[in-house]
Chain A
Amino acid sequence: MNFFTLAAKNLQRRRGRTMLTVIGVAIAISVLFSLLALNSGYEKELSKEVNSLGVHILAVPKGCPYEAASLIMHGGVIPKYLSDSDYQNVSTIAGVELASPMLLHQFMKKDEKTGVSTPHIIYGINMEETRKLKPWWTVEGRFFSDNEKGVMLVGRGLADKENLSVGQVLPVGPKKENFTIVGILDRTGDQDDQFHFFPLKEAQRVFNKQGMITTIAVKVRDVSRIAAVSQEMEKIPDIQVVTMTQIMGTIMNLAGSARSLLLTVIAIALIISAFGIINTLLMSVNERTREFGMMKAIGASGLDIARMVLAETVFITLLGGILGTVAAVVGSSIIESFVKGMLPYSPGGSLISYSPQLVGFALAFSVLLGLVCGIYPAVKSSRLSPMEAIRGGFE
């Protein structure tokens, strides 16, 4: 027998009350755990997504807010365009390794079976440059070359969803021109899986956007010169510059305010459950005044009593912590969809990422919670004079 098993047995006496307290702790810890898991997952997914662009700076039309830049990452369309001369100007700036113009076009496509319309995104790109930006691209079939006509690539995700295969011909644009799928992009794990890719000139022609560019993706030669290069780019009148670090920062800021709201909720939940624990403990300590007196009479010191009370609290909170962590893991998909709804921007992948460290932290935190909550009841019972305690006086 040790203090912990003794505590466990003591807690069995008021099972209902103990379980309620444990559940209170479990709820608080599971929310805390989910939030932290979500936080690390969010950052990870977001930086993965931003890096998958293979781009350091985006040039977008002036007046286009930063959020629009994040829209671009998901294929949103902005009704403003840059021109070919903007592109020429950008590519001549010193320090620019590669500038690649892109045109985005979005159209709705009705599913024949279900009748539901979903947005489809077409990226007009220069293949040669894009492959330098995204060296990890591989393809089933072949890549197209920039001067080809009537060809396209599709992402693997899209191909799977719509049963597309290499060689298939699809009607595109207002005139229903025939485009052949020459290749299916192997799965990249990011949004590229969902897009159509056309040669830039073809995209501009088919959708009547000759000479128009949605964005220019820039890769710099030296990462430390991103700021200098973007300053140069700002001098071009039509252009607004967005660096990837800015995008990340903006999104993280937006996410941050949503997060602090959640943190407040958690803090309140934790405080409430802390008072619940303290209350439970004080009740059970008051009820057992005589018992503590007896323990002192049979050789317990004040420290022993305090240790026993603390062991009981830690037992409650640790149990709550374990339960809460398990619940958070089990219910992670529910929590994820709930939180995704609250965030201003959510990356595609799974947002919740657990690590052993995080589990360790949650459990350590629940132990800490127990120690903090247990201090007052523990000190109070350890100070009991044994004789008063046996007579049944407390206070």
Chain B
Amino acid sequence: MSGIIEAKGLCKVYLRGREEIQALRNVDFSVEAGEFISIIGPSGSGKTALLNMFGCLDTPSSGSLRLNGIEIAGLKERDLVKLRRENIGFVFQQFYLMPTLTARENIELPLLFSKKSGSKKRIDEVLQMVGLADRGDHLPGQLSGGEMQRVAIGRAIINDPKIILADEPTGNLDSVTSEMIFGLFSELNKRGLTLVVVTHNLDLARRAEKMYSLRDGRIVSCEERACAEVV
């Protein structure tokens, strides 16, 4: 069975002036639907480049990348937008919430772009899911870091994506809050969502089913979690 994300010989070259930077070199990568994957690696190893590619924010320089069976290399911007809307939810290290919108409105924002009508019930449901049922009318400035990240996660799942891509989602959070965010990820994973999380925190990374290590644009190891989860 082919995975929901299938990368073969994926390369990404950036130009910085005349200098060529090989952000990704020949990466093979496969994610099955419903998996919880983490990616670790030193700074500059290409983690963000890889994740952006998965999220159709960027296209490969060479190699092949299939998302849900669709080859994205060579796709037009319009099709990339559609693919992204239907399949991907993004979570960032800096949250990127709109400061003038309430938690509820921030969560609602993707619906504006996907032209789906967001019933109040659906938004309440998502607020509930991320544990902010009573904070819906607060502005980001009135929320803690962990709460803001939960709003961002709510925003990522409102469109019912198949995959959540998170780039260092706990990079700005303390360890307890980070734990909570990972707890939320596990919960989403149990509901059937596929998760790919980039993190610097090894302990948290180990809580995923698979942990990939990236170095200099190459995957150097893949660790599978010891099957029996300690409950």
Known: A290-B96, A294-B96, A390-B92. A1 touches B84 (CB 8 A): no
Q: Is B57 among interface residues, defined by CB-CB distance under 8 A?
A: yes
Chain B residues closer than 8 Å to A299, beta-carbon distance: 81, 84-85, 110, 113-114, 159
A1 to B85, CA, bound (A): 18
Chain B residues closer than 8 Å to A2, beta-carbon distance: 112
Most A CB atoms within 10 A — which of B58, B88, B98, B156? Answer: B98
A387 to B109, CA, bound (A): 19
B228 to nearest A CB, angstroms? Answer: 36
Q: Is B212 among interface residues, defined by CB-CB distance under 8 A?
A: no
Q: Is B52 among interface residues, defined by CB-CB distance under 8 A?
A: yes
Chain B residues closer than 8 Å to A6, beta-carbon distance: 101, 109, 112
B58 pairs with A387, CB closer than 8 A? yes
A9 to B77, CA, bound (A): 28
Interface residues of A in 1-32 (CB under 8 A from B): 1-3, 6, 9-10, 12-13
B100 pairs with A386, CB closer than 8 A? no
Chain A residues closer than 8 Å to B168, beta-carbon distance: none
Specify the main secondary structure of chain A where it touches its partner: helix
B113 pairs with A301, CB closer than 8 A? yes
Interface residues of A in 70-115 (CB under 8 A from B): none
B113 pairs with A300, CB closer than 8 A? yes
Q: Is B55 among interface residues, defined by CB-CB distance under 8 A?
A: yes
Interface residues of B in 74-100 (CB under 8 A from A): 77-78, 81, 84-85, 88-90, 92, 94, 96, 98-100
A297 pairs with B57, CB closer than 8 A? yes
B127 to nearest A CB, angstroms? Answer: 15
A387 pairs with B57, CB closer than 8 A? yes
B92 pairs with A294, CB closer than 8 A? yes
A386 pairs with B113, CB closer than 8 A? no
A257 to nearest B CB, angstroms? Answer: 49
Most A CB atoms within 10 A — which of B81, B89, B101, B156? Answer: B81
Q: Is A296 among interface residues, defined by CB-CB distance under 8 A?
A: yes
Chain A residues closer than 8 Å to B96, beta-carbon distance: 290-291, 294
B90 pairs with A10, CB closer than 8 A? no
With beta carbons under 8 angstroms apart, the residue of A3, A291, A385, A387 that contacts B98 is: A291
Q: Is A223 among interface residues, defined by CB-CB distance under 8 A?
A: no
A298 pairs with B99, CB closer than 8 A? no
- What 0/1 readout, one digit per residue, does chain A (284-312) give for beta carbons within 8 Å of chain B? 00000011001111111110100000000
Q: Is B155 among interface residues, defined by CB-CB distance under 8 A?
A: yes
Chain B residues closer than 8 Å to A386, beta-carbon distance: 57-58
Closest to B96 in A: A294
A240 to nearest B CB, angstroms? Answer: 71
With beta carbons under 8 angstroms apart, the residue of A13, A291, A304 that contacts B113 is: A304
A12 pairs with B100, CB closer than 8 A? yes
Chain B residues closer than 8 Å to A290, beta-carbon distance: 94, 96
Chain A residues closer than 8 Å to B35, beta-carbon distance: none
Chain A residues closer than 8 Å to B155, beta-carbon distance: 298
- What 0/1 readout, one digit per residue, does chain B (91-125) give for beta carbons within 8 Å of chain A? 01010101111000100111011100000000000
Known: A2-B112, A387-B58, A390-B57. A297 touches B101 (CB 8 A): no
B90 pairs with A301, CB closer than 8 A? no
Known: A1-B105, A2-B112, A299-B113. A13 touches B57 (CB 8 A): no
A329 to nearest B CB, angstroms? Answer: 32
A390 to B95, CA, bound (A): 12
B58 pairs with A298, CB closer than 8 A? no
- What 0/1 readout, one digit per residue, does chain B (132-155) give for beta carbons within 8 Å of chain A? 000000000000000000000001
A299 to B114, CA, bound (A): 7
Closest to B81 in A: A301
With beta carbons under 8 angstroms apart, the residue of B55, B100, B108, B114 that contacts A297 is: B55
A298 pairs with B109, CB closer than 8 A? yes
B85 to nearest A CB, angstroms? Answer: 4
B27 to nearest A CB, angstroms? Answer: 17
A298 pairs with B110, CB closer than 8 A? yes
A388 to nearest B CB, angstroms? Answer: 9
B77 pairs with A298, CB closer than 8 A? no
Chain A residues closer than 8 Å to B156, beta-carbon distance: 298
Closest to B89 in A: A298
Per CB-CB distance, the 5 closest pairs between chain A and chain B, nearest first, are: A294-B96, A299-B85, A9-B100, A297-B90, A300-B113
Q: Which residues of B contact A (CB under 8 A)?
A: 52, 55, 57-58, 77-78, 81, 84-85, 88-90, 92, 94, 96, 98-101, 105, 108-110, 112-114, 155-156, 159
A selection of 14 A-B contacts at a CB cut-off of 8 Å is A1-B112, A2-B112, A6-B109, A9-B105, A10-B98, A13-B99, A297-B92, A298-B89, A298-B109, A299-B84, A302-B81, A385-B57, A387-B58, A390-B92
Interface contacts beyond A6-B101, A291-B96, A299-B81: sample of 9 additional A-B pairs, CB < 8 Å, sorted by A: A1-B105, A9-B98, A10-B100, A294-B90, A297-B92, A299-B159, A386-B58, A387-B58, A390-B57
